[in-house]
Amino acid sequence: MRHYKRFVQFAVTAAIATATTSFSIPVAFAGLQMESKTIKYPVAEKGATVDNYSGVSVADPYRWLEDTNSEKTHAWVEEENTVTRAYLDSIPERGDIAKRLRELWNYERCGVPSKFGKNLFYSKNDGLQNQNVLYVKDLARQNARVLLDPNTLSKDGTVALSTYNSTDDGTLIAYGLSASGSDWEDWYVKDVSTGKDLSDHLKWLKNAEVAWSADKSGFYYPRYDEPKQGSELQQANYYQKLFFHKIGTAQSDDKLIYERRDDKELEFAPTVTDDGNYLVVGVYHGTSPKNGILIENLKDPASKLMELFAPGKAMYSLVGNDGAKFYFLTDEGAPHARVISMDTKVADGKISGDENVIVKDHDDTIEQVSYLDGKLICRYLKDACNTVAIYDVNGKFDRMLDLPGLGAADGFTGRQSDTDTYYSYTSFNTPAVIYHIDLNNKKQDEFFKPTFKFNSDDYVTDQIFCKSKDGTTVPVFVSHKKGIALDGKNPTYLYGYGGFKISLLPFYSPSNLLWMERGGVFAVATLRGGGEYGESWHQSGMKLNKQKVFDDFIGAAQCLIDKKYTCSEKLSIGGGSNGGLLVGACITERPDLYRAAVAQVGVMDMLRFNKFTVGWEWVQEYGSPENADEFKALYAYSPLHNIKSGVCYPCTLITTADHDDRVVPGHSFKFTAAMQAVQKCDNPVLIRVDVKAGHGHGKSTEKLIDEATDKWAFLTKTLGTPKSVR
Q: Annotated catalytic sites, by residue? A: 577, 695
- b or e along 7-17 (b: 16 or more beta carbons within 10 Å of the residue's beta carbon)? bbbbbebeebb
Sign of dihedral through CA atoms 542, 545, 548, 550? positive
Round to whole Å and give the CA distance between 574 and 511. Answer: 13
CA dihedral 249, 252, 254, 255 (to 10 degrees): -140
Q: Give the three-state DSSP class for 19.
A: coil
- Residues 6 or more apart in contact with residue 651 via CB below 8 angstroms: 595, 596, 597, 683, 684, 685, 714, 718
Rounded to whole angstroms, the Cα distance separating 141 from 133 reads 21
Between the two ends of the chain, the Cα-to-Cα distance in Å is 45
Residue 485 CB partners (closer than 8 Å, separation 6+): none
**What are the start-end ranges of the E strands in 192-324?**
197-206, 211-212, 218-223, 241-246, 255-258, 266-272, 278-285, 292-297, 306-309, 316-322
Q: Is 478 helix (H, G, I), strand (E, B) or coil?
A: strand
What does R_g of the chain's alpha carbons equal in angstroms? 25
DSSP bridge pairs for 473: 467
Cα–Cα distance measured from residue 470 to residue 548, given in angstroms and rounded to the nearest whole number: 8
CA angle, residues 498, 123, 240, in degrees to nearest 5: 55
From CA 285, how far away is CA 619, in angstroms rounded? 10
Cα–Cα nearest to 105, from 511, 488, 385, 379: 511
Half-sphere exposure in the Cβ direction for 19 (13 Å, CA) = 21
Type of residue at 611? K
Torsion of CA 705, 709, 712, 718, to 10 degrees: -160
Helix (H, G, I), strand (E, B) or coil at 259: coil
d(CA 211, CA 216): 10
**If DSSP states are collapsed to H, E and C, what string results for 157-176?**
CCEEEEEEEECCCCCEEEEE
**Secondary structure (H, E, C), 400-451:** ECCCCCCCEEEECCCCCCCCEEEEEEEECCEEEEEEEEECCCCEEEEEECCC
Closest by CA to 617, choosing from 240, 226, 53, 122, is 240
* CA distances, 230 to each of 29, 212, 227, 697 (Å): 31, 33, 8, 22
Query: Cα(657)–Cα(668) distance, rounded to whole angstroms?
Result: 9
CA–CA distance, 537 with 509 (Å, rounded to integer) = 26
Burial of 319 (0-12, 13-18, 19+ CB in 10 A): buried
Residue 377 — φ and ψ, nearest 5°?
A: -95, 110
User: Quick check: 237 and 206 in contact, CB under 8 A?
Assistant: yes
Question: What is the C-alpha separation between 454 and 104, in angstroms, rounded?
Answer: 8
Q: What is the 3-state secondary structure (H, E, C) of 161-220?
A: EEEEEECCCCCEEEEEEEECCCCEEEEEEEECCCCCEEEEEEEEEECCCCEECCCCCEEE
